């Protein structure tokens, strides 16, 4: 698996230090209230678990399954909600967590849907944000790292369901794709 990685972009130690900072920002922005956290499966699972352990307050953690890559290395342009029932967010503040902000379609579609479902506020957090023009005008409120527009895996991000368990974010070799 490690032989498929061209280079490591962000190692585990650097990720964990950045998560400490992000957690402080979340605690400051949501003081003392029970916060609903919506985690997008499967990619944000590792990021969310490490981040949320650093937020010492009452959290209600919900997960929803959406798909936009469909096994490839580029967004398909379509966001599919694989769960038909969304968590109850009516009258609540929500923190939406995703692994990567690329085209912006997924983050915008889910955020809009949560607002339609009655959330009073939706802030967004991503481990990675690609430095590129987006198909949708959306930016995350909390960003771990800005990266170039290249295909990355590890720390929850995958290629065809693989590489999620790498403890770092790395660029996948072209011949492994």
- Supply the residues annotated as catalytic: 102
Reduced to 3 states, what is the DSSP secondary structure of residue 53?
coil
What is the 3-class SS of 59-114, one letter each residue? EEEEEEEEECCCCCCCCCCCCEECCCCCCCCCCCEEEEEEEEECCCHHHHHHHHHH
Task: State phi, psi for 94 to the nearest 5 degrees.
Answer: -130, 140
Helix crossing, 12-29 with 45-52: angle to 10°?
60
């Amino acid at each position: 698996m490690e032989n498929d990685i061209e280079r490591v972009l962000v190692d585990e130690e650097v990720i964990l230090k950045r998560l400490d900072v992000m957690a402080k920002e979340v605690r400051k922005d949501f003081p003392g209230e029970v916060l609903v956290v919506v985690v997008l499966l499967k990619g944000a699972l590792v990021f969310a678990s490490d981040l949320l352990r650093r937020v010492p307050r009452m959290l209600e953690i919900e997960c929803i399954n959406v798909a936009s890559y469909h096994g490839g290395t580029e967004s398909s342009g379509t966001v599919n909600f694989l769960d038909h029932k969304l968590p109850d967010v009516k009258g609540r503040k929500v923190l939406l967590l995703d692994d990567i902000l690329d085209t912006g379609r997924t983050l915008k579609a889910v955020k809009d849907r949560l607002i339609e479902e009655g959330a009073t506020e939706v802030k967004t957090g991503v481990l990675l944000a690609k430095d590129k023009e987006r198909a949708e005008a959306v930016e995350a409120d909390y960003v771990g790292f800005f990266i170039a527009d290249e295909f990355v895996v590890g720390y929850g991000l995958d290629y065809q369901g693989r590489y999620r368990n790498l403890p770092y974010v790395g660029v996948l070799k072209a011949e492994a794709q």
